[in-house]
Amino acid sequence: MKPINANEASYERFEILGHDALFTCLRIDRKTLPEGLHAYDLRDEDSTGEICELKSHVMVNHWGTVIVKEKIDGADEGIDLDENDYNYLGEEMTLDEFANPAPNMEQIM
């Protein structure tokens, strides 16, 4: 499957390894990411279908892609994950909203 433009995907808020992130089940074309954002792929385990690894690129058993604002150390080589390392937050968010959050009222005052 050909990667898609990052701006054309739909996303869900996600947490991974303590990082605020966006999740999509699609493969994202890294060249289409806004500056300052980083994408990593999630791999699922053959036997359980659960997410088991975060890596810069996954070819086989691609579960989805996460987008974060800070690089995740060790992700280029691959990081083993278990169910305590990530969480779906259940809120849809656009890539633009994630990259350019609106200030809340407390920050303005």
- pLDDT on residue 71: 96
Contact by Cβ (8 Å): 60, 27: no
Taking the CA of residue 85 as centre, how many other CA atoms within 13 Å lie in the half-sphere pointing to its CB?
A: 12
- pLDDT on residue 66: 98
State pTM to two decimals.
Answer: 0.89
DSSP letter at 15 equals: E
Per-residue pLDDT of the chain (109 residues; tens, 9 = 90+): 689 999 999 999 999 999 999 999 999 999 999 999 999 999 999 888 899 999 999 999 999 999 999 999 999 999 999 999 999 999 999 999 999 888 875 555 5
Structure tokens at 92: 């849809």
